Amino acid sequence: MEASPSPQQPNTKPTTKRSLMASLMDAATTTLGRSSSFKEDTYHLSSLKPAEAKALQDFKSLLSSHPSDKPLSMWGIPLTQLDSTDERADVVLLKFLRARDFNVRDAHQMLTKCAAWRAEFGADSVVDEELGFKELEGVVAYMHGWDRAGHPVCYNAYGVFKDKGMYERVFGDGDKMEMFLRWRVQVMERGVKMLQFRPGGINSIIQVTDLKDMPKRELRSASKQILNLFQDNYPEMVARKVFVNVPWYFSVFYAMISPFLTERTKSKFVIAREGNVAETLYKYIRPEFVPVQYGGLSLPGDLENGPPKPASEFTIKEAEKVFLEIDGIEAGATITWDLVVGGWDLEYGAEYVPLSEQSYTLSVEKLRKIPATADEPIHNSFTARETGKMVLSIDNSASRKRKVAAYRYFVRKPSM
């Protein structure tokens, strides 16, 4: 049983017009995009430069003088009473060294400050605390799935705080702000617990930050505190930071936070303008792991029952019509399919074509317009009365934009 996209392309292509806002965003994207090809450290000692290897040994020697009655550890990994067979400590120490350009004294100072903060904050136990932010879970900051390389992905979206009532409940005073920061650290610690801390392993997460409707002025203080907290205490824990639904004024926001970021942190940034969210995320995350609100197939709770069925990906060109044909469906079988197109704004329909030439094609879903604002994938089922194929029609002929898309299907054969 196979499904294959079959495009129909008209001879003429529409001309492309560019707005001033699009040009400004292109400039912002280019400025940040130059350094977005971040190469993650493998943490293999053999890959270190001689000066870096020496810095690691010097760092270990410095830590060996730490009082034996006060052993130092980080994320459950001993750092002062080192076991030569435990490579996890090397990974942690290299993170601090990398964050301070392999300056041993600066890295040691950063590590000791981080250890003191973790002890005072209670970071090791915060994961199990009930902090009373149920309404924010799965909305504002949450771990969801993995990228193509296996990194856990953390999503952040602060648009809910445009509601003044919500803002006051969460950030109304200093105590509330502190509790929110504690909750945000809790989410981060959950992500860290998913890491392997071994050379060549998964040693960092991916962050996706949604800037849609984010009240930038109101969240300025919280944003600065979160950035400082994470940069000081979670070095090299983020392999890539993807900004989605980026508005035209992002350059202003970026100018605001830029002084608080290291050059290495800024080198990890990827920018996705409004309308290009799915296309950007698909480069790093498979569609079955991308949440539906970002043009993926993953609904809340989907990942609780094990790995999802992989989706097939394809691209729809501008002014193109594509037919997805799913062949070999037996009489009595039930086919279920999911389909999503990034940015939609096209027409979709579904037909069942019986194998017998004496039978008629059945309209399963009449051709209809799917708006750009659609935030859930197509999900439908059909039970065949006779052998044939399902044909899904995606008509992008009225659009000037290329779009990424994904689909998957399940066939339940008839019971004997």
**Residue 264, pLDDT score:** 74
**Residue 67, pLDDT score:** 84
Distance, in Å, from the CA atom of 56 to the CA atom of 44, rounded to the nearest integer, reads 12
**Residue 24, pLDDT score:** 36
| H or E stretch at 145 | strand 141-146
Q: Are 320 and 400 in contact (CB under 8 A)?
A: no
**Residue 191, pLDDT score:** 97
Displacement of CA 120 from its chain's centroid (Å): 31
**Residue 408, pLDDT score:** 97
Q: Which residues of the chain have pLDDT under 70?
A: 1-37, 251, 253, 416
Residue with tokens 């394809």: 314
Query: What pLDDT, in 10s, does the model give residues 103-152?
Result: 999 999 999 999 999 999 999 999 999 998 888 988 999 999 999 999 99
Distance, in Å, from the CA atom of 221 to the CA atom of 369, rounded to the nearest integer, reads 43
Q: Are 94 and 56 in contact (CB under 8 A)?
A: yes
> Which of 319, 301, 392, 322 minimizes the C-alpha distance to 352?
392
Task: For the chain, state the CA radius of gyration.
Answer: 25
Tokens of 208: 């996706």
Q: Which residues contact 191 (CB under 8 A, 6 or more apart)?
A: 143, 152, 154, 205, 237
Distance, in Å, from the CA atom of 155 to the CA atom of 271, rounded to the nearest integer, reads 15
Tokens of 16: 């492309």
**Residue 28, pLDDT score:** 43
This prediction has a pTM of: 0.86
**Residue 5, pLDDT score:** 57
Displacement of CA 243 from its chain's centroid (Å): 9
For β-strands 378-383 and 334-341, DSSP reports them as: antiparallel
**Residue 84, pLDDT score:** 72
Distance, in Å, from the CA atom of 285 to the CA atom of 342, rounded to the nearest integer, reads 14
**Residue 210, pLDDT score:** 93
**Residue 123, pLDDT score:** 96
**Residue 55, pLDDT score:** 98
362-365 contacts at long range (C-beta below 8 A, 24 or more positions apart)? 364/390
| H or E stretch at 385 | none
Distance, in Å, from the CA atom of 142 to the CA atom of 184, rounded to the nearest integer, reads 9
Q: Are 153 and 145 in contact (CB under 8 A)?
A: yes
CA–CA distance from 305 to each of 210, 300, 302 (Å)?
26, 11, 6
**Residue 221, pLDDT score:** 79
**Residue 157, pLDDT score:** 94
Distance, in Å, from the CA atom of 135 to the CA atom of 142, rounded to the nearest integer, reads 12
Which runs of consecutive H residues, i.e. helices, occur in 234-329?
A: 250-257, 263-266, 277-284
| Burial class (CB within 10 angstroms; exposed 0-12, middle 13-18, buried 19+) of 166 | middle
Distance, in Å, from the CA atom of 412 to the CA atom of 339, rounded to the nearest integer, reads 18
Residue 342 backbone phi and psi in degrees, to 5? -65, 125
**Residue 83, pLDDT score:** 73
Q: Are 408 and 311 in contact (CB under 8 A)?
A: yes
In one-letter notation, the amino acid at residue 268 is K
CA–CA distance from 95 to each of 67, 233, 346 (Å)?
23, 11, 46
